[in-house]
Structures are given as C-alpha cells and as structure tokens.
C-alpha cells in the first residue's frame, strides 16, 4: 500500500517537522535496523513513526517479551501507522515527552532508539530539546539510529547535528547509502 499522498500532504502541512516528501524505503529501513544487537534490546522506542515503514520493519527484530513504543506527532500519519501496525503502542505526541511515556509504560531505560525525525530541518533549540529528552531514557551503551539525506549535510543544521552526534556518542558510524530511497539517504549508527 502506498502512503505517498498522505506523506506529501503532511510535508506540506508542516515541513518543519516532516522533512521528506515520501515515506522511507524498505532499503533504508534495513540499513537502520540490521546493525543493532537485537538480542540485548529489552525496550526500543521509535521517534517519528511517520507512515509506519520503520515501525513495521522493527517487529520481526524484537525478541519475545521486548517492549516497543512508537511516537508520531502528525495525526494523519499516526492513523496510518495505527492501521498498518495495530499491535504497536503508538503515542500521538511530541518526542520531547519520551520520559513521561516511558514512565507510563513502566520503562526505566531504553536500549535502542530508531529515529525518523528530520534533524536538518530543526532549529538548534529544537535539536537540543529532542536530544536532551532522548538522553533522559537512553543510558550509556544504548543504541541510536537515525538517517540523513545527502543534501541535508550542506545545511548548517545538518552539519551541527553531525558534530553533536560525534560529541555525545562514543561510536558514530555511517552506513552505506540507501540509493533507492527518495531522496538517497544514509544512516548514522550510534552507540552512547
């Protein structure tokens, strides 16, 4: 099922928080998830579930008993994800509330965060707000995956975000490019 029209409308409604014109590709989802140590993940959180491409791909990786929480702010995209992945604990709110959401779910810490947020389109204040919230739940040793479009690296916010990752994570690697994604993207694979 294609959700390109819904995604594009969400981009037009709020290009500051929806940073792409099309959903992520299965190739990008694979690059986001394949490197993580899923055998050690008791709880994973997704920032920016969008139309559920990553949400759906995460399910088979989860070990029995592992918790999974998805967060999506846009109501139309959240509804698509709910229909696509009805078993997922999806919260329609801002990722800055992740500590509160985890507390409600009885989760003290998160082992992995899979992130679809458009970091290069955020102001430095918004980047800081979301990253500070993430570090409230992601302890040392936690895994973090997010992606970037190649053209985003030319933007000051994209460069700032890259520097931030290198300062705050003990390990930051870059995946091979997902050329079939629109636009082409790569994944930052980070360990705290």
What's the pLDDT score for residue 92? 97
How many angstroms separate the CA atoms of 173 and 157, rounded?
19
For 152-168, the pLDDT digits (tens) are: 888 888 888 999 999 99
Domain boundary assignment for the chain: 4-191
Q: Is the peptide bond before 176 cis (omega within 30 degrees of 0)?
A: no
pLDDT digit string, tens, across residues 69-124 = 999 999 999 999 999 999 999 999 999 999 999 999 999 999 999 999 988 888 88
DSSP 23: P
For 24-71, the pLDDT digits (tens) are 899 999 999 999 999 999 999 999 999 999 999 999 999 999 999 999
Average pLDDT over the chain, rounded to an integer: 89
User: Residue 147 is inside which H or E element, if any?
Assistant: strand 143-149
pLDDT band at 20 (very low <50, low <70, confident <90, very high): low
CA distances from 78 to 81, 89, 149, 174, 180 (A): 5, 11, 23, 28, 24
Whether the Cβ atoms of residue 137 and residue 109 lie closer than 8 Å to each other = yes
Residue 11 clears pLDDT 70, i.e. is over it: no
CATH class entry, domain 4-191: alpha beta
SS3 131: helix
Residue 144 DSSP code: E
Q: Tens digits of per-residue pLDDT, 65-80? A: 999 999 999 999 999 9
């Amino acid at each position: 099922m294609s959700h390109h029209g819904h995604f594009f409308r969400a981009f037009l409604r709020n290009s500051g928080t929806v940073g792409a014109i099309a959903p992520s590709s299965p190739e990008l989802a694979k690059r986001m998830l394949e490197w993580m140590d899923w055998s050690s993940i008791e709880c994973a959180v997704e920032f920016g579930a969008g139309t559920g491409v990553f949400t759906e791909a995460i399910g088979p990786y989860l070990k029995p008993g592992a918790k999974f929480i998805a967060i999506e702010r846009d109501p139309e995209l959240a509804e698509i994800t709910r229909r696509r992945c009805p078993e997922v604990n999806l919260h329609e709110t801002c990722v800055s509330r992740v500590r509160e959401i985890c507390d409600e779910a009885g989760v003290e810490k998160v082992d992995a965060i899979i992130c679809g947020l458009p970091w290069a389109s955020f102001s430095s204040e918004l980047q800081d707000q979301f990253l500070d919230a993430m570090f409230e739940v992601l302890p040392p040793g936690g895994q973090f995956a997010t992606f970037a479009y190649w053209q985003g690296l030319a933007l000051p916010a994209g460069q700032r975000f890259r520097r931030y990752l290198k300062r705050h994570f003990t390990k930051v690697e870059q995946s091979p490019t997902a050329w079939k994604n629109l636009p082409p993207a790569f994944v930052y694979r980070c360990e705290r």
